[in-house]
Amino acid sequence: MRLQGLKIGAGMTWEGPAAGTFVDPNTFATDTSTIRSPAYVIFDAMTSYETTFGRHKASFQVNVKNLFNRQYYTDAFMYVPPWGYVTYGAPRSIVASVKVDI
């Protein structure tokens, strides 16, 4: 197999712990020091291959976001303990593409 035209890449996103929002049910005052969303690391990867078919160039690419399908929170909100919510980050996603120059 010809490896010329093959590209491989990876990336990492780190997000430190972030303050969540706590709302006091009696005064409706907010406090961001009470709860925190934990830190997380997300890995992404891509691979592509470029080749020619006669006079036409073609490329094939696959991108994977959240490679290890890590569950993480991007936000946290609490009203009356233990009721509240968290916003989940995006699960693993895979996108494949084909491009042909004619």
What does the pLDDT look like over 18-41, one tens digit per residue?
Answer: 888 888 777 777 777 777 788 999
Q: Is the pLDDT of residue 1 over 60?
A: no
Euclidean distance between CA atoms 3 and 48, whole angstroms = 11
* Amino acid found at 5: G
Determine contact, residues 71/36, Cβ cutoff 8 Å. Answer: no
pTM, entire model: 0.76
Average confidence (pLDDT) over 11-22: 89
| Cβ burial 25-56 (10 Å sphere, 16+ → b, else e) | eeeeeeeeeebebeebebebeeebbeeeeeee
pLDDT of residue 79: 75
% pLDDT > 70, the chain: 93
Among 15-19, 57-61, 95-99, which is the least confidently predicted range? 15-19
